Structure 1
């Protein structure tokens, strides 16, 4: 299918925060109450329209467990957007954003202007919330991230999260030009495609 831009979006965060559930909700509008952890990296595709532009998203779902860190580090390469996900009912997943995941991005990301989107997942569990929305907003401001709270279960803000991220990438000249150039490279005969070793399991929501 023809497209104008090709973007690489990476999902990072602790195991069990719902990275896979968010992606499944976004790509197929479904939700599974019980799902197995991602092993290594999973990979999904989604085509979206932004104005008159057709954008092909390659969505990389990384495992949150520490034992997979060396395996997933190479997948930061070339990502124009990175979604940092935490669970609003588990404070450690929020704390680890700065203690672990921002450090990983700084170490491995190859795009200086890469757009970061902070997502507080499991908004449907409001009665169990331990991380306030204000904490999320403040964190996003300190670290230059877009921010939304969402629920993969109820689908609240899931599409909006990716819509805003894609729009911001398109509005960033260096990244927008890069996605068009990448499209040309991938359509060129004989160009090597990235072929991730994937697993079809999903992180528990």
Structure 2
């Protein structure tokens, strides 16, 4: 069985919910196939920072304050893991479909992506825009970061990789 530990901070469940549904003290799961291997992502609270091997930092494109919160989470990750380490992180702006309510500009995202040296994605869970791309990027970063843990298996074998 392939195991990854990743934390989705500020994440959302696999099913889109119209009402705001925070992940604090809750667990959500998302399953997908990346490069022929089944991966399971679990959103957990911050106590798992130290053991996690990858992170999704999720903010709302319609709420600029949520982007500032991501900076705090990013700093917590570097404090827990060590700022000198190459840590798999993907930053995700959600609610791309709500363009008329957008508060975070693409220019701001571009500046942060360059200064943080992290990939940023704009997604819509409601419309399922670019959601899989985010998880695929993180899994590939984690594989690159820890190549010794990559399985030598044929595509779509039953043994899943588990991302927590």
Q: TM-score range by the shorter chain?
A: 0.7 to 0.9
Aligned-pair distance for 1:179?
6.0
Q: CA RMSD in A?
A: 2.6
Alignment of 1:101 with 2:73, yes or no, is: yes
Number of residue pairs matched? 152
Query: Secondary structure of 1:20's match?
Result: coil
Distance 1:45 1:101, change over 3 A: same
**SS of corresponding position for 1:118:** strand
136-145 vs 32-41, which moves further: 32-41
Match of 1:176 among 117, 139, 147: 147
Q: Secondary structure at the match of 1:130?
A: coil
1:8 to partner: Cα distance = 1.9
Query: Which residue of the partner structure matches residue 10 of structure 1?
Result: 7
Of 86, 105, 128, which aligns to 1:132? 105
Hey, what's the Cα distance between the residues in 2 that align with 1:146 and 1:154?
21
User: Using the alignment, how far apart are the partners of 1:103 and 1:168 within structure 2?
Assistant: 19
Distance in 1 of aligned mates of 2:149 and 2:82? 12
Other structure's SS at 1:171 match: helix
Map residues 161-172 of structure 1 onto 2, 5 A cutoff.
161-172=134-145
Residue 56 of structure 1 is matched in structure 2 by 39
SS at match of 1:10: strand
Say if 1:121 and 1:149, in contact at 8 Å, map to a contact too.
yes
Structure 2 gap ranges (5+): 152-158
Cα deviation for residue 35 of structure 1 reads 5.4
Deviation at 1:166, TM superposition (A): 1.2
From the superposition, tell whether residues 103 and 154 of structure 1 become closer, same or farther in structure 2 (CA, over 3 Å).
same
Structure 1 pair 56–102 and aligned structure 2 pair: CA distance change class (3 A): same
Structure with more of its chain in helix, by fraction:
1
Compute the TM-score of the two structures, normalised by the length of structure 2. Answer: 0.78
Residue 37 (str. 1) matches residue 45 (str. 2): no
Q: Match for residue 201 of structure 1?
A: none
Q: 1:89 to 1:36 in 2, by over 3 A?
A: closer
